[in-house]
């Protein structure tokens, strides 16, 4: 994928930089861990520090000192999950800030406007997320509204087109295959630069998530990037790449790092475990990340138990590196047409 801030090799995982920072990491550490693109949260940045501040820096890149590509979400998902009250109408979503209770309208046009102000390389259309489980009529109403909003987003995007930027549509339809198919077709007709699957990993059984993704991905245009939003565990990524997904974002590697959980090729480890008290080995033997090259499990455990700020950072560096390295291994396997071999090896390692 080509963006105004560089080329992205897919499939790729995007570390989540909610508030203009991937929690605890510097941009240099993100690059060293292999980050090609990061995600910014429109809802959060719109409320804090606000578009007027970020526009003083001509966008998020300079504000946060990240020179690579940035994908921003539409803000919709956070409104549904964080705002105090929200009301969905044809015009858009009216909500109250979870910070100061102030009232705002997030319309398709506003979502594009904010993302333009953030200088986003990949803009996401405003969509309506539904909970799981949901009734058919609820899923259908939401996807139809999402389709109409997508058209309005596209118009707004084209009216204020920034060269190098891209606009992605979001497929909804809940856990109903025929609705997913209808949503994919309606969006494909509108011709976006890429397509996302929204409304997955919202509480449904894992098998159902895989079934919907496997069903829907081939329904999308073959020559456009396909992005599964908010997913997932390492094995989720392996399965979904197998189904043809190109892009992912998830807070798991960063959030779990701050809770002391480290991802390794042999599964996760909780660094608070007393077993690691005097363990001189790195978090993951053979790992090439900054943390594993310089620090032991004993030191990581000590920092975590003492609630030292460096703990969250060293753990995050490792987890982000783990995720990004996993994606790189998948890219290499795909390039050499050895994905199935890779997949088997991935699971064999996990069981060792």
Token couple for 327: 């994606």
Does 43 sit near its own copies (CB under 8 A)? no
Annotated catalytic residue: which of 127, 214, 249, 337? 249
Does 98 sit near its own copies (CB under 8 A)? no
Residues 6+ apart with CB under 8 A from 87: 93, 94, 95
Does 312 sit near its own copies (CB under 8 A)? yes
Does 224 sit near its own copies (CB under 8 A)? no
**β-bridge mates for residue 69, sequence order:** none
- Residues in contact with its own copies, shown as a per-residue x/- string from 290 to 309 under the rule CB under 8 A: ----xxx-xx-xxx-xx-xx
Cβ distance 139 to 173 under 8 Å? yes
Applying CB under 8 A, the span of 4-12, 63-71, 178-186, 200-208 interacting with its own copies comes to: 63-71
Does 251 sit near its own copies (CB under 8 A)? no
Nearest 5°: phi and psi at 244?
110, 10
Minimal distance, residue 15 CB to its own copies, in Å = 13
Does 313 sit near its own copies (CB under 8 A)? yes
Does 152 sit near its own copies (CB under 8 A)? no
Residues 6+ apart with CB under 8 A from 310: 303
Token couple for 229: 């939003």
Question: Is 222 a residue of the active site?
Answer: no
Length of the chain in residues, anyone?
Answer: 352
Does 310 sit near its own copies (CB under 8 A)? yes
Does 68 sit near its own copies (CB under 8 A)? no
Question: Is 127 a residue of the active site?
Answer: no
**β-bridge mates for residue 103, sequence order:** 96
Residue 24 or 172: which CB sits closer to its own copies? 24
Residue 25 or 182: which CB sits closer to its own copies? 25
Nearest alpha-carbon partner for 175 in 145, 146, 139, 148? 139
The residue written with tokens 């890149």 in the block is 61
Give the catalytic positions in this structure.
Answer: 73, 249
């Amino acid at each position: 994928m080509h963006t105004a801030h560089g080329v992205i090799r897919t499939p790729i995982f995007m570390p989540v930089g909610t508030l203009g920072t991937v929690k605890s990491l510097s941009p240099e550490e993100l690059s060293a861990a292999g980050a090609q693109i990061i995600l910014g949260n429109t809802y959060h940045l719109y409320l804090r520090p606000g578009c007027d501040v970020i526009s003083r820096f001509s966008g998020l890149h300079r504000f946060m000192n990240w020179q690579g590509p940035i994908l921003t979400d539409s803000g919709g998902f956070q409104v549904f999950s964080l705002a105090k009250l929200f009301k969905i109408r044809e015009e858009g979503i009216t909500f109250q800030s979870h910070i100061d209770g102030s009232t705002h309208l997030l319309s398709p046009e506003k979502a594009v406007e904010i993302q333009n102000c953030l200088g986003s390389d990949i803009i996401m259309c405003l969509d309506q997320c539904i909970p799981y489980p949901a009734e058919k009529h609820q899923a259908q109403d939401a996807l139809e509204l999402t389709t109409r909003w997508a058209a309005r987003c596209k118009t707004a995007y084209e009216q204020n087109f920034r060269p190098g930027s891209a606009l992605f549509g979001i497929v909804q339809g809940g856990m109903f295959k025929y609705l997913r198919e209808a949503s994919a077709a309606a969006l494909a007709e509108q011709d976006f630069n890429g397509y996302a699957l929204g409304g997955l990993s919202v509480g449904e059984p894992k098998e159902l998530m895989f079934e919907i993704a496997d069903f829907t991905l081939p329904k999308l245009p073959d020559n456009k990037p396909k992005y599964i939003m908010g997913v997932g565990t390492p094995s989720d990524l392996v399965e979904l790449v197998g189904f043809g997904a190109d892009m992912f974002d998830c807070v798991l590697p960063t959030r779990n790092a701050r809770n002391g959980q480290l991802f390794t090729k042999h599964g996760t480890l909780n660094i608070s475990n007393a077993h690691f008290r005097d363990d001189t080995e790195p978090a993951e033997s053979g790992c090439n990340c900054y943390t594993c090259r310089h620090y032991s499990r004993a030191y990581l455990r000590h920092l975590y138990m003492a609630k030292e700020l460096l703990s969250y950072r060293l753990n995050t560096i490792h987890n982000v590196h783990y995720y990004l390295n996993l994606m790189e291994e998948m890219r290499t396997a795909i390039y050499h047409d050895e994905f199935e071999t890779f997949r088997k090896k991935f699971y064999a390692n996990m069981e060792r």
